């Protein structure tokens, strides 16, 4: 495995690709990487510093923690205050600020909030603690939603009644439509996510290219993956070649993962969804079907989604849309730091603000 990875980190090949980029004389292009893992890889490997002035790379809303709305955090904290309730969550969610507190602060106050690596861990916790109600906080895109659906199906099949899911899951396609429809962003091409694409396949990207005349590349996360994708995308744009290329075929099949999609849509159905800092995007979310309402924490605990206002001065929404960089935000690295975050973009390991803080920005 290490030899296989090293092939995509070869320094000599990387230098040749950097030379190709340096010699690029085409028209200026603006490319957006959609996935937060791409954002971190680009910063980690210093790829922005290799780009000529006529290739601009901007970060999009591909960080699931970052786009989770604040009212979801408030609802999670409200649930944590219920008697005999165990809240389970991925680690990145712990420090995301709500209107008054965070899960980390609530845990310090004695609430039973536990970090898990999978919703199936939460399901086992429910089976082991029949006198408790275990609620899994489910966020993320098509990459993680199928396993949340599987946990619900497994709970039903095994008769586990004290398990439920508070969902804020979202889907990539409708968000991409919203981005290309925003003339202020002016994206010329997309680096499409590898993880989500492994589930949904590449069909939608071809539809997007045909409808909006924007090419794209499905890319992996190693430095040579990203460099090759940028070269290909910039070249295709300048040649007016409106196509989508799958350069991550070692992981992403054209048809995606039909079994995972089947399980996901057995439990969830499309719904409008609020993206933190961006607003409501019709059809971009997933809500649990009525037939699984016994496992839907929103209904089990009768939780309302309250109005939420972004913290004053926070530009997280503009950063997520690629309209601003963290350096444009007056709070960045001042009032807002990883230790004391104001916005979710500074919290997540995939957040753009966190990347700028850790690697210095570009």
What are the structural domains of the chain? 2-63+180-246 (3.40.50.11750), 70-171+256-300 (3.40.50.11740)
Task: Give the span between the Cα atoms of 17 and 286, in whole angstroms.
Answer: 40
DSSP 170: B
pLDDT at position 3, please? 59
pLDDT at position 10, please? 87
pLDDT at position 304, please? 84
Helix, strand, or coil (residue 279): strand
Closest CA to 229 of 38, 36, 89, 27: 38
Q: Which residues contact 319 (CB under 8 A, 6 or more apart)?
A: 59, 277, 325, 326, 329, 345, 352, 353
Q: Could you tell me which residues are beta bridge partners of residue 30? A: 56
52 burial type by CB count under 10 A (0-12 exposed, 13-18 middle, 19+ buried)? middle
How do strand 244-246 and strand 85-89 relate by DSSP bridges?
Answer: unpaired
pLDDT at position 362, please? 54
Given a cut of 70, the residues of the chain with pLDDT beneath it are 1-4, 361-362
How do strand 216-218 and strand 55-59 relate by DSSP bridges?
Answer: unpaired
Task: Give the span between the Cα atoms of 265 and 269, in whole angstroms.
Answer: 6
Q: What share of the chain is helix, strand, coil (3-state, %, to 5)?
A: 45, 20, 40
Task: Give the span between the Cα atoms of 231 and 19, in whole angstroms.
Answer: 11
Instruction: For tokens 């002016």, name the residue.
Output: 186
Helix, strand, or coil (residue 67): coil
pLDDT at position 184, please? 81
Residue pair 77/98 in contact (Cβ under 8 Å)? The answer is: yes
pTM of the full structure? 0.92
């Amino acid at each position: 495995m290490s030899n296989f990875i090293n092939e995509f980190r070869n320094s000599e090949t990387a230098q040749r690709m950097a030379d190709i980029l340096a010699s690029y004389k085409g028209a200026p292009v603006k490319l957006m990487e959609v996935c937060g893992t791409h954002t971190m890889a680009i910063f980690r490997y210093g790829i922005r510093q290799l780009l000529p002035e006529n290739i601009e790379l901007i970060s999009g809303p591909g960080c699931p923690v970052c786009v989770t709305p604040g009212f979801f955090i408030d609802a999670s904290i409200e649930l944590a205050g219920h008697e005999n309730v165990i809240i389970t969550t991925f680690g990145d969610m712990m420090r995301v600020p709500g209107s008054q507190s965070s899960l980390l602060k609530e845990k310090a106050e004695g609430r039973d909030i536990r970090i898990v690596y999978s919703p199936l861990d939460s399901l086992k916790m429910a089976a082991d603690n029949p006198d408790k109600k275990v609620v899994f906080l489910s966020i993320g895109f098509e990459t993680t939603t199928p396993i949340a659906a599987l946990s619900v199906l497994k709970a039903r099949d095994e008769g586990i009644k004290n398990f439920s899911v508070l969902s804020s899951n979202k889907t990539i396609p409708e968000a991409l439509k919203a981005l290309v429809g925003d003339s202020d962003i002016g994206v010329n091409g997309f680096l499409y996510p590898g993880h989500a694409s492994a589930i949904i396949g590449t069909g939608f990207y071809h539809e997007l290219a045909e409808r909006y005349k924007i090419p794209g590349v499905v890319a992996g996360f190693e430095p040579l993956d990203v460099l090759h994708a940028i070269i290909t995308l910039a070249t295709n744009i300048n040649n007016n070649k409106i196509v989508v290329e799958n350069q991550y075929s070692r992981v992403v099949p054209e048809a995606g993962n039909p079994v995972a999609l089947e399980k996901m849509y057995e439990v969830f159905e499309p719904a409008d969804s609020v993206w933190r800092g961006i607003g409501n995007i019709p059809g971009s979310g997933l809500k649990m079907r009525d037939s699984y309402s016994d496992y839907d924490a929103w209904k089990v605990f009768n939780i309302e989604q309250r109005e939420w206002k972004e913290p004053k001065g926070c530009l997280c929404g503009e950063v997520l849309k690629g309209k601003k960089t963290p350096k444009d935000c007056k709070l960045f690295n001042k009032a807002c730091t990883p230790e004391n975050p104001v916005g979710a973009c500074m919290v997540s390991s995939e957040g753009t603000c966190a990347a700028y803080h850790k690697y210095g920005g570009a």
